[in-house]
Amino acid sequence: MSSDSPTFSLGKVRIIRVVEGLGLEIFTPVIRLLAGDDPKEQVKELARSVGVPLLSILAFLILWSNLAASVETRIGSLPGPAEVWTEAKGLVAEHYAERQKAVEFDQRMVVLKEKWEAEGRPWKNRVYSGKPTYFDQIWTSLKTVFAGFLVASLLAVPLGILCGLSRTMNAAFSPLIQIFKPVSPLAWLPIVMILVSALYTPEHPFFEKSFITSALTVSLCSLWPTLANTALGVASVNPDHMNVARVLRLPWQTRVFKIVVPSALPLIFTGLRLSLGVGWMVLIAAEMLAQNPGLGKFVWDMFQNGSSATLAQIMVAVFTIGIIGFMLDRLMVILQRAVSFEGTVSA
Amino acid sequence: MALLIPTMATAQYPEKDELKFGFIKLTDCAPLVIAKELRYFEDEGLFVTLESQANWKILLDRVIGGELDGGHMLAGQPIAATVGVGTRANLITPFSMDLNGNGITVSNAIWEEMKLVDPALAVPKPVHPISADALKPIVDAAKDIGQPLQMGIVFPVSTHNYEIRYWLAASGISPGFYTPRDTTGMTDADVLLSVTPPPQMPATLDQGTIHGYSVGEPWNQQAVFRKIGVPVVTNYEIWKNNPEKVFGMTQEFAEKNPNTAIAVTKALIRAGKWLDESIENRKKAVKILSRSEYVGADEEVIAASMTGTFEYAKGDKREMPDFNVFFRYDATYPFFSDAVWFLTQMRRWGQIGEAKSDAWYDEAARRVYRPDIYMAAARALLAEGHLTAAEIPETDGYKAPDSGFIDGKVYDGHKPNEYLSSFEIGNQSSVGKMTGR
């Protein structure tokens, strides 16, 4: 098969589409290179999309390293990339050490179980109750942000569609939205904490109160971008489409789900993407105060330690939070591409 | 089938054995940490998770709300909650976690001024205890120019609050009063006391936002290590062997789970005893406490106060084997007279709004402090051979009249109103009038 054949080109285009669908479009020039497209242009593209960012990251590391060496405060010197890397490795090592302790605990429990059963004492299966490791905390944060984001989206999307379709509803909700939108999570948190404390009192709670408090605070702060963008997207549906729907006398469900939502989808997804970003930021603040055992609590606990490793540990957390935030954003882009029509996605 | 039939034997097992306790990152959370790490809790059939809390308020709220089954608490917290100062809840304590352990640190600038006022302080090893007399002219000068000194405390009903107030008032400085309208305690104050979380104290001291603070370890030694302040006095010198932290739980929890309460107390008593057994044990404790999930501060900072010494101005290290006391001198027994002292100080500064009878103080103390649980635990440990009979106090709950105060006053727990009347600064017992300036 020669590189001029249409089958080849089609195959190449298909591969590129898959790659872009996975959010890895920086590798497109590589594929094109392999397919024999104009090498000079592909190399230039590659240099710009991969080479330049790598160089800038390198420059940042060098700048940081020099800055850290020169800044000495009484609370400690600013850690450079090397110290932060050391602390990161330390956290990973602690994770494995803790898992090892869990294994030892299980072994002890086997012995204890025999002892108790010999005494006639009722036995329950025990789980190791050590500290949550760094990876446990990352996982808790992710679970919490998704819980909050889900609640926010389930509220914001229908409300946004309603506000976008009906100008009366929009007028009704608008003042409330404008007032509650700028409220900081730190102001919502005490209210949410008190409400959850008073209202969530089951005998055997499935969710921890701190989890619910953090998730709800995330929802309260992150539903606004989705709401606003959904309303805008719905309101900007091509009026011709709505006229056709009226002529055909389509029921409202068809109008909403077949016309309005698909047209508004790009803006809805823009809103969701912004909401997830806001939610991730809010989560860290909420966790610090609600004591949800995630990355926010990690940062606060390390700050409270006041040890010489504290600043470096907090910087590890800063990078972790940033990288995860970046990956969450890419996830939303991939989802957006999956459900959008071609040519409507702005990466 | 056998598991479903309650036997006589199960009547003595803990009712709830998977527990979560909260603590604050201060070195005197040691009994809890040791009880867990040395598996004393496991020996009692308890499976405990220890979780550090962001601050005292959150810890208190979570214990009251049931998310935490119990916690490391300031001695004043269960008392205040039960009598209605601050958040209202019925809390009890069966175990006193430690004695002493706090210090008052001032900024370098204030220390320099104090040395100018009192040249006796300007030597490498000044005579201790240092009273607030050298501070008084500085306080007055600051007040005259309209910028009164600011000092940090950790919580409105904390021992640190009552200690710094005692220390200031003993030298004629008014630390401010609480009134029905003023819940911040700054009425008629010569020095303004405000709440700052312990980890932020060194930074705020360095910036000059506060001029001093009263806090537990490792925050006084941190100031010395980072050269931003000088501890001038410890609470050991303000009131020798004063009660400091307790282990608190809700009354409801203790009523529903009496065996659990006793089992927890047993493990904690064993941990306290281990901590005071030897300096070697203290050093091992320091290693454990310096882990990031516990106190997390650097080992040398924690060791500075927990292994028998305390450092004042940099280079002025003194022997102080009783800076932290976890078991000696009946430290673990919850004495009613300790509770009454805190109640008198709450009345002295106005947190308790009206005068109360001596009987009221006694009755309030008996509601909160539970030596009955302690004695049940101690007797069980005696039977198991972990305690000797000599280590269990025989008392009616009131210590003998105590004169170990920096101003020489005598405290008799049976006579709280008489004690209150003996102070120049502070609400008097019956009249309820403030005598601040």
Q: Are residues B215 and B268 in the same domain?
A: no
Q: Is residue B51 part of a domain?
A: yes
Give which of B231, B53, B75 is closest to B158, Cα–Cα.
Answer: B75
Q: Among partner residues B51, B199, B228, which is closest to A74 by beta-carbon distance?
A: B228
Whether B6 has a pLDDT exceeding 50, the answer reads no
Q: Are residues A30 and A161 part of one domain?
A: no
Residue percentage of chain B with pLDDT more than 70: 95
Chain B residue whose CA is closest to A113: B45
- Same domain assignment for residues B246 and B387: yes
- Which of A53, A70, A87 terminates a domain? The answer is A70
pLDDT digits (tens, 9 = 90+) for B393-431: 999 999 999 999 998 899 999 999 999 999 988 886 544
Q: How far lies B393's CA from each of B1, B326, B327, in Å? A: 44, 15, 11
Q: Would you call A197 and B42 a contact, using CB atoms and an 8 Å cutoff?
A: no
Segment A319-340 shows an average pLDDT of: 89
Residues of B in contact with A303 (CB under 8 A): 199
Does B297 sit within 8 Å of A307, measured CB to CB?
yes
Of the three residues B391, B410, B432, the one that is the final residue of a domain is: B391
Asked if A299 and A314 touch (Cβ cutoff 8 Å), the reply is yes
Tell whether B250 and B384 lie within a shared domain: yes
Residue B179: inside a domain: yes
Give the integer Cα–Cα distance in Å for B55 and B60. Answer: 9
> What distance in Å separates the CA atoms of residue B21 and residue B267, rounded to the nearest whole number?
13
Give the Cα-Cα-Cα angle B190, B195, B201 (nearest 5 degrees). Answer: 100
pLDDT digits (tens, 9 = 90+) for B66-77: 889 999 999 999
Instruction: Report whether the peptide linkage leading into residue B119 is cis, meaning its omega lies within 30 degrees of zero.
Output: no
- With respect to residue A113, please indicate whether it lies within any of the assigned structural domains: no
Tell me the three state secondary structure of residue A50.
Answer: helix
The burial class, CB within 10 Å (0-12 / 13-18 / 19+), for B327 is buried
Q: Which residue, B241, B271, B302, sits at the end of a domain?
A: B241
Specify the pLDDT at position B411: 93
CA-based nearest distance B296→chain A, Å: 5
DSSP code for B404: -
ipTM of the complex: 0.79
Q: Give a yes or no: residue A88 inside a domain.
A: no
| pLDDT of B198 higher than 50 | yes
User: Exposed, middle or buried: residue B382 (CB in 10 Å: 0-12, 13-18, 19+)?
Assistant: middle
* pLDDT score of B289: 95
In this structure, the answer to whether residues B248 and B237 fall within a common structural domain is no
Name the H helices within A120-166: 134-165
* Each residue's pLDDT tens digit, B301-317: 999 889 889 999 888 99
Residues of chain B positioned with their CB less than 8 A from the CB of A121? 9-10, 13, 45
In a shared domain, residues A49 and A152: no
Q: Are residues A206 and A317 in the same domain?
A: yes
Single residue among A37, A70, A103 that ends a domain in this structure:
A70
**Inter-chain residue contact A288 with B54, CB threshold 8 Å:** yes
Place of tokens 């017992």: B429
Say if residue B218 is in the same domain as residue B325: no
Band of the pLDDT at A41, cuts 50, 70, 90?
confident
- Number of domains chain B is built from: 2
Q: Are residues B235 and B251 in the same domain?
A: no
Three-state DSSP class for residue B356: coil
Position B256 scores a pLDDT of 94
pTM, to two decimals: 0.85
Give the CATH number for residue B195: 3.40.190.10
**R_g of chain B, CA atoms, integer Å:** 21
Residue of B19, B87, B288, B292 to mutate when probing chain A, most A C-beta within 10 A: B292
Residues B83, B68, single domain; the answer is yes
Residues 6+ apart with CB under 8 A from B310: B103, B221, B231, B234, B304, B317, B318, B320, B323
Does B216 score more than 50 pLDDT?
yes
Query: Where residue A341 falls among pLDDT bands split at 50, 70, 90?
Result: low
Q: Is A109 a domain residue?
A: no
* Within a domain: B1: no
Q: Please indicate, yes or no, whether residues A332 and A193 belong to a single structural domain of this protein.
A: yes
pLDDT number for residue B360: 94
* Residue of chain B nearest A197, judged by CA positions: B65
Number of domains in chain A: 2
Residue A111 lies in a domain: no
Whether residues B300 and B188 fall in one domain: no
Tokens of B400: 């003998």
Q: How many CB pairs under 8 A join A and B?
A: 85
Contacts of A293 in chain B (CB under 8 A): 51
pLDDT for the residue B334? 95
Q: CB distance B49–A129 less than 8 Å?
A: yes
A76 conformational bin, left if phi > 0, alpha if psi -120 to 50, beta if neither: left
How high does pLDDT run on average in chain A?
87
Cross-chain Cβ contact B42/A108 below 8 Å: yes
Nearest CA in chain B to A286: B54
pLDDT tens digits, one per residue of B340-388: 999 999 999 999 988 899 999 999 999 999 999 999 999 999 999 999 9
> Looking at the structure, do residues B210 and B265 belong to the same domain, yes or no?
no
Domain that holds residue B188: 102-241
Greater pLDDT, A189 or A347: A189
Instruction: Indicate the DSSP class of residue B227.
Output: T
Tell me if A197 and B297 make a contact (CB, 8 A cut-off). Answer: no
Asked if B188 and B258 sit in the same domain, the reply is no
Domain stop point among A70, A89, A108? A70
B115 with B177, same domain: the answer is yes
Tell me B119's DSSP state: G
Residue B11: band (very low, low, confident or very high) from pLDDT cuts 50, 70, 90: low
Answer whether residue B158 shows pLDDT above 60. Answer: yes
CA–CA gap between residue B305 and residue B115 (Å, rounded): 24
Whole domain around residue A23: which residue ranges? 6-70
Between A172 and A7, name the one with better pLDDT: A172
User: What sign for the dihedral angle of Cα B94, B97, B99, B103?
Assistant: negative
Of B47, B197, B296, the CB nearest to A305: B296
Cβ count within 10 A of residue B137: 14
